[in-house]
Structure formats: C-alpha cells, structure tokens
Amino acid sequence: MQRTYLAFQRNAKLHSLQTVVTAVRSVSSLEDANRSLFKQANDDDHVVITEQTIFHPQGGGQPSDVGVMKSDTGANFDVSLVRMNAVTEGEVLHFGRFTDTSSVFKPGETITQTIDSDKRNLYSRYHTAGHVLGAAVRHLLEKEVANFDEVKASHFPDSAACEFQGLIEGKWKDAIQTRLDDYISKDMPVEIDFWDEDNFKANGLERLIPDRSAMGMAPGEKFRVVKMVGAEAYPCGGTHVDSTEQCGKTNVKKISRSKGVSRVGYVLP
C-alpha cells in the first residue's frame, strides 16, 4: 500500500480536505496488531484509509483528531480515533462508524474530510505549550541538574507533562513557572521547517537527530521540525499554534520524581 500523505504536516490550517478513499475495512477483519489499537470497537465499526489526511494520528504525545468524512452520495463516517497502521508502514487508519451501514464509501470514491476545529486548536495549544515548557526547563536547569536531559512528553489535556532525566527538586517550581511565563508572553513565532542531519549539526542540536531507520524514513527524506524562534527547536510531527502567546496561560503543576526521572506536569485553562 502507498503511504498516506500527511497533509496536516504541511498545512495545519487545513480543517477540510477532499481526498480519495483507498480502502474500507471492518475493524473485525483487521490484523490483531491493528485491531488492538481500537479496543472499544464493536461489530459496526470500520476503518477508512485515504490517499491523504488532515487528521493527526495519535502519537508523539498528542491525541488524534476527530471529525467526519462525507461523500457526495450521502455516506457519512464519524471518525472517533486515528492511528498509524501497526503493520503497513506509513498508512493512516481512520477508525469510526458509518451513520448508515447500508451507505458506505467505495475505494476510488472522492470524499471530504472535516476535523473538529475546537479540539484541534486545544491539542495544538497543549502541544506547543509542552515544547515551551521543555525549553524553559532545559535553559533553566541543564547546568543545575546532574545528568539532565529531556526524555519524553505527553500533551493529552488530562495528563500533560514533560519528563526529564535527572532529579528536579520542588524548589524549582516557581522558577520554572517564571521562565515559562516569560517565553509565552514574548509571543515567540512558532515555525515549521524540514531539516536533514546537517541542519541539526549546524544548529548545535546533534542530540536531537532522530533515528531515520526506526522512523521508516526514506534516504534523503527530511525531518519535520518545530521551532520556537528565540527558544528551542524540536523534531516533531504534531500540530501547533502560530506563536507561544497563543498557548495561553500555562500553569506548572506538580513536579514528581521516580527512578532518576522527573515529571513536570502542566495545564491550560
């Protein structure tokens, strides 16, 4: 199968898109690895695969988009979860349910995708805020905390947090909040770029070069990068707002520590 073109990675402002259906499958017919991605599925649920998508699949710490797909023939598909295919590299699976099971999409049919814009904006604000928090903690503490490094992050609204190698004591919470507030209030532009390994090295960010083979990337294919201009850059496939100020007030929650890793939680109003 051909890789799904991730239209949202080139233009995250596309909230509606016409594309072509390549396959429609019942969830029950999927391979075990893919069926397990949608554990709450029942007999009426299907997967729709399209040539392109504006739906961000769950991954990279960001929840998936939700929304609808509609055809001119009247078929309507409610998208409740989007994931990358666990078996076929680069293919996006749109999980959901047809409004009328007697009216379903056919391969080769042109349909219109529409995402839930309110949720996209919320997830984009959380994702950008997580990167701003990561930058604030790094610039504040990388020389203060032994063996410091950024590990991973979750940008889900109900469990948003950034994890760091090294023990960050609770006494740093106010300082982290102050640095975070400063970065957000500066209204730093958030830009998307595409880099190769040389670009990372030229910016002194060799530590961030992703594993090309692990990501299933073709030779010469560039990595997508999000840049908070004036703060930090990260390899990232997620969606973002246009400036740090658009994140809104971001509050540092609890700092927890376990097995040499510190977790800094955050929340948006």
Residue 107 is part of a domain; what is its CATH number? Answer: 2.40.30.130
Please state whether the predicted TM-score (pTM) of the whole model is above 0.75: yes
pLDDT at position 1, please? 57
Mean pLDDT of the region 11-32: 95
pLDDT in tens, 140-173: 999 999 999 999 999 999 999 999 999 999 999 9
Amino acid letter, 83: R
DSSP 86-105: SSSTT-EEEEEEESSTTS--
User: What is the dihedral sign for C-alpha 15, 38, 161, 92?
Assistant: negative
210 SS3 class: coil
User: Is 80 exceeded by the pLDDT of residue 122?
Assistant: yes
Same domain, 111 and 124: no
What domain count does the chain have?
A: 2
Mean pLDDT of the region 219-247: 93
Same domain, 102 and 126: no
Same domain, 126 and 110: no
Mean pLDDT of the region 17-43: 93
Q: Rounded to whole angstroms, what are the CA distances from 124 to 100, 159, 185, 261? A: 32, 15, 17, 26
The residue to which tokens 């004036």 are assigned: 230
Name the domain boundary from 92, 115, 138. 115
Indicate which CATH number applies to the domain containing 242.
3.30.980.10
Residues paired with residue 114 on neighbouring β-strands, in sequence order: 16, 68
Mean pLDDT of the region 42-61: 95
Name the domain boundary from 60, 80, 115. 115
> Which of the residue ranges 6-10, 52-56, 101-105, 224-228 would you say has the lowest mean pLDDT?
101-105
Q: Which of 158, 161, 160, 162 is nearest to 148 (CA)?
A: 162
Same domain, 108 and 129: no
pLDDT at position 221, please? 86
* Cα(175)–Cα(167) distance, integer angstroms: 15
pLDDT at position 258, please? 95
Q: Which of 113, 17, 109, 21 is nearest to 66 (CA)?
A: 113
The enclosing H or E element of 30 equals none
Q: Which of 15, 252, 30, 31 is nearest to 119 (CA)?
A: 15
User: Between these two residues, 98 and 230, which has the higher pLDDT value?
Assistant: 98
Across the chain, which distance is largest between two alpha carbons, in Å? 63
- In this prediction, residue 216 has a pLDDT band, given cuts at 50, 70 and 90, of low
Q: What share of the chain is helix, strand, coil (3-state, %, to 5)?
A: 25, 35, 40
Domain enclosing residue 35, as ranges: 5-115
pLDDT at position 69, please? 98
pLDDT at position 102, please? 83
User: Is 90 exceeded by the pLDDT of residue 210?
Assistant: no
pLDDT in tens, 54-103: 999 999 999 999 999 999 999 999 999 999 999 998 999 999 999 988 88
